[in-house]
Amino acid sequence: MASNISSRGTIENFLHQGITPQDAAMELGDNEFDAGAQTVVFDIDTRTQTLTVSGDGMGMDKDGMTTGLRINNTRPASEAIGLRGVGGKAGLAVLSGLESSALILSQMQGQKVYEVEIDWPATMREDKWAPTPSGLTLDNCRVWEENRIHPEHGTVVQVKMPQAVLERLLPNLAAELVRVYEGRLADGRVIRVVIDGVEQDLSTARALGYATAPHKQATKIQLLRNPGTGEMRGYLERDFHKKKVWCRKDGRKIHRDHQQALESGFECVGEFELLSAYDPSWLGCGYMSPCRNGRFLGAIRTQFPGADDYGKRKVVANSRHGLLFTQVNDAHIGVQVNKSAVSREDMNSVLLAVVDWAMMDFSTKVWAGIKPAAVVPPAEEKELKRRWKLLREACWTKRGLLEEFEARVLEVADDSDDEEEN
């Protein structure tokens, strides 16, 4: 049994540590991941104002739960033994607002389920901390059966929240979970967020970064198809000489023949918009996610350029892209009934090629804008200016040659990724 100690001051201090409701919820998730969980579920019921955090970690036996509930107990961050440190108890205090109880249910492999209830109002009223683990009672059996993830081990924590705490917890919860647990997600861990019985798509939260990213771009994409030959072409809209021009890529050549294609019998069979964003603070989280009517269908890793400088590759690795489309384009994306994730193999190859081009085009422009300017020695700069002057003078006698030369220079500057003009 946990010892009875004067604890009101310690508990009240939990509420003054700057812990937000999102931080508190993630403290509970951290405990499960520290206990080796592969899956953690955050389930919120706004009607009953409860948060239930479930994980399939190693769980706790009675002695472990008793030790973990000591109010002055701490543990090294590397000790993966579940709900142990002050963080978990502080999280429960913040989420409950000290106005209701919190329930902890846990089971270790080969042992029975234990439960403990932390009655925050009674603790504050009586100024003593005495939560005592016991075997699973009939009253809480349903909570365990409905929320446990693994049949033989794991932990379920449930807390009732005041309305004010609930309202602070809900906004951007999924976005915060993705931001904090990005590394764990990349390692194959699973995080699920369920609100009122509806599972949220965490990839949607990733795309929310578009609104605040310092570098962003929206690119329109079209698929054209010739009904006679079956040939399909992908076009994207690019800036060219301060105008929007539909372009397609064939190898290293760029064609601006969108209108000619329509006049020759091609028909538009798909329209898309690619939202691209980059923030230098994002680390190792680059992806492209198809978005059907506002719902993101998984995350597809971005492709690195075959050979490029490290700075550009870093931008590519950290850029995020959302491919917006409607249900009329399902066939091009590879959307299937009861399938919520899309892979590169599912997508139309022509569409995928133009999307890859658009993503690389965005990263190239971003890198060109943020990379350190090359330092040219004064003597070399003077020589370059002298040669440029001589070249202009040589072309001056042939006005057409000068105009053609200047137009070509502008094209090279516009197509900074060294693509050839057709």
Flag whether pLDDT at 84 surpasses 60. no
Flag whether pLDDT at 418 surpasses 50. no
Which is more confidently placed, 405 or 259?
Answer: 259
Crossing angle of helices 310-318 and 349-370, in 10° steps, is 120
Class of residue 157 by CB neighbours under 10 A (exposed 0-12, middle 13-18, buried 19+): buried
Flag whether pLDDT at 157 surpasses 60. yes
In this predicted model, what pLDDT tens digit does every residue of 243-274 receive, in sequence order? 899 999 988 889 999 999 999 999 999 999 99
Q: What is the spatial distance between Cα 205 and Cα 172, in angstroms, rounded to a whole number? A: 8
Q: To which H or E segment does residue 95 belong?
A: helix 86-96
Q: pLDDT band for position 81 (50/70/90)? A: very low
Q: How many CA atoms lie within 13 A of 71 on its CB side?
A: 24
In this predicted model, what pLDDT tens digit does every residue of 24-35 receive, in sequence order? 898 898 889 889
CATH class of the 8-200 domain in this structure: alpha beta
Q: What is the spatial distance between Cα 96 and Cα 88, in angstroms, rounded to a whole number? A: 12
The pairing of strands 190-195 and 39-45 is parallel
In this predicted model, what pLDDT tens digit does every residue of 97-118 receive, in sequence order? 888 989 999 999 989 999 999 8
CB proximity list for 151: less than 8 A, separation 6 or greater:
none
Amino acid at 368: A
**How would you list the strands of the sheet with 243-250, edge to edge?**
295-296, 287-292, 320-325, 267-278, 215-225, 232-240, 243-250, 253-255, 420-421
Q: pLDDT band for position 159 (50/70/90)? A: very high
Q: What is the predicted pLDDT for the residue at 3?
A: 43
**Pair 183, 117: CB distance under 8 Å:** no
Question: Alpha helices of 187-266 — where are they, by DSSP H?
Answer: 202-207, 258-263
**Pair 235, 222: CB distance under 8 Å:** yes
Supply φ then ψ for residue 357, to 5 degrees. -65, -45
Q: What is the predicted pLDDT for the residue at 390?
A: 75
Q: What is the predicted pLDDT for the residue at 420?
A: 43
CB under 8 Å, gap of 24 or more: what pairs does 11-19 form? Answer: 11/71, 11/93, 11/98, 11/120, 11/123, 11/124, 11/129, 12/98, 12/124, 14/89, 14/90, 14/93, 14/94, 15/93, 15/94, 15/97, 15/98, 17/90, 19/90, 19/91, 19/94
Cα–Cα separations (whole angstroms), residue 84 to 34, 76, 81, 222, 394: 10, 10, 7, 55, 80
Domain boundaries, the chain: 8-200, 208-370, 378-421
Q: What is the predicted pLDDT for the residue at 79?
A: 39
Q: What is the spatial distance between Cα 189 and Cα 38, in angstroms, rounded to a whole number? A: 5
Residue 119 neighbours by CB distance under 10 Å: 15
Flag whether pLDDT at 224 surpasses 70. yes
What mean pLDDT comes out for the span 316-331? 85
Flag whether pLDDT at 201 surpasses 90. no
**Pair 29, 55: CB distance under 8 Å:** yes
Residue 370 neighbours by CB distance under 10 Å: 13
Q: What is the predicted pLDDT for the residue at 403?
A: 61
Q: Could you say which DSSP state residue 245 is in?
A: E
Q: What is the predicted pLDDT for the residue at 370?
A: 85
Q: What is the predicted pLDDT for the residue at 409?
A: 58
What mean pLDDT comes out for the span 330-356? 79
Q: What is the predicted pLDDT for the residue at 289?
A: 81
Q: What is the 3-state secondary structure (H, E, C) of 298-358?
A: CCECCCCCCCCCHHHHHHHHHCEEEEEECHHHHHHHCCCCCCCCCCHHHCCHHHHHHHHHH
Closest Cα partner for 53 from 121, 152, 154, 139?
A: 154
Q: What is the predicted pLDDT for the residue at 397?
A: 60
Q: What is the predicted pLDDT for the residue at 206?
A: 53
What mean pLDDT comes out for the span 178-205? 75
**Pair 51, 169: CB distance under 8 Å:** yes
Q: What is the predicted pLDDT for the residue at 308?
A: 62
Q: What is the spatial distance between Cα 359 and Cα 351, in angstroms, rounded to a whole number? A: 12
Q: How far apart are the first and last CA of the chain?
A: 81
CA-based torsion, 173, 178, 183, 186: positive or negative: positive
Cα–Cα separations (whole angstroms), residue 332 to 71, 223, 237, 246: 57, 9, 19, 20
The pairing of strands 39-45 and 198-200 is unpaired
| CA angle at 125 for the pair 122 and 130, rounded to the nearest 5° | 45
Q: What is the DSSP string of 140-180?
A: HHHHHHHH-SSSSSEEEEEEE--HHHHHHHSTTHHHHHHHH
Q: What is the predicted pLDDT for the residue at 80?
A: 38
